[in-house]
Copies of this chain bind each other. A is one copy, B any other.
Amino acid sequence: MNAPTLQDIREAAIRIAPLAHRTPVLTSRGLDEICGAQAFFKCENLQRTGSFKIRGASNAILALSDDEVRGGVVTHSSGNHASAVACAARHRGIRADIVVPNNTPKAKQETAAGFGGEIHLCEPTLAARQAAVDTIQQRTGATMVHPYDNPLVIAGQGTAALELLADIPDLDAVAAPVSGGGLLSGTAIAATGLKPGIQVFGAEPERADDACRSFHSGKLEPLLTSDTIADGLRAALCQRTLDVIRAQVTDILTVSEAQIIEAMKLIWRYLKIVVEPSGAVPFAMLMAHRERFAGRRVGLILSGGNLDLEKLPWQT
């Protein structure tokens, strides 16, 4: 398959049930007053491994045949997909090699290693990531579990929206952060499949806005900068995710670094949960583009909560 269907996402939900938590949906009157909308936070920071990534990784790894996992699995990831692949591989009893850019927060590297993944550091470019994966595959014969250019991964990520809409059926819109587009694609397929007419938004940092530009131009635009504080959103769309997003997403809206930090701090303060910068991007979008969402009921995929606690972004 090229892109998964709603049925694939439903099957993913059954397949990943032994590994992934059903996460809660939190709300806050205080945050609703601040953003002028009604926000429903799907708390994937409380997910196993600290992010939604376990959904896609475990769906892909559990669906592989015994033959396909003989050499283990390999992937590249700026952090959360790394932990997810390591966790799912351990669950299946196979080896996981993980290529991690050397600018990934230490907390994320340690978490992945803690699940038993073998970490290989590389330069922080997509080319260097792929080269390192190729080298490992030649040596071990491992199967690549791509962080987003994989229909099983996309189907797994879509299970978060499936649960969100089961808990809060009367949403006007859903929003997810966008990096490589796996989460946004899965969210769009699940949400529009369950509820035709629902709006689906991608939320993206201005400083990694390839998805916004690609969405509007219709072709894959290069990532020009990748130094956003939202360290989970430094990858670029692929043709597979761009096709889904062009077909099923309402719009992709961008936010500034300052807006991400402000949103993150408000979530910590009002919801009392630890969210990483990437996970705060959809709420930042709600505040930055409030005219689009005034008074509406918006589900936000709060993607993860892994970050270094030594220094927080709002601290000078």
Contact = CB atoms under 8 A, between A and B. Distances in A.
A305 B26 CA distance: 15
Given A45-B272, A46-B26, A272-B46, A311 B315 contact: yes
A76 interface: no
A107 B269 CA distance: 9
Interface in A271-316: 271-275, 305, 309-312, 314-315
A272 B26 contact: no
Contacts of A312: 309, 312
A268 B310 CA distance: 12
A78 B311 CA distance: 27
Interface string A17-43: 000000010100000000000000000
A265 interface: yes
A79 interface: no
A129 to B, nearest CB: 26
B314 A310 contact: yes
A46 B46 CA distance: 13
Contact of A269 (B26, B309, B315): B309
A205 interface: no
Q: Which of A107, A268, A274, A305 has the most CB of B within 10 A?
A: A274
Given A26-B46, A309-B265, A312-B312, A272 B272 contact: no
Interface of A: 24, 26, 45-46, 50, 107, 265, 268-269, 271-275, 305, 309-312, 314-315
19 contacts: A45-B272, A46-B271, A46-B273, A50-B272, A107-B269, A265-B309, A268-B274, A268-B309, A269-B274, A272-B274, A272-B275, A273-B273, A273-B274, A274-B274, A309-B312, A310-B315, A311-B315, A312-B312, A315-B315
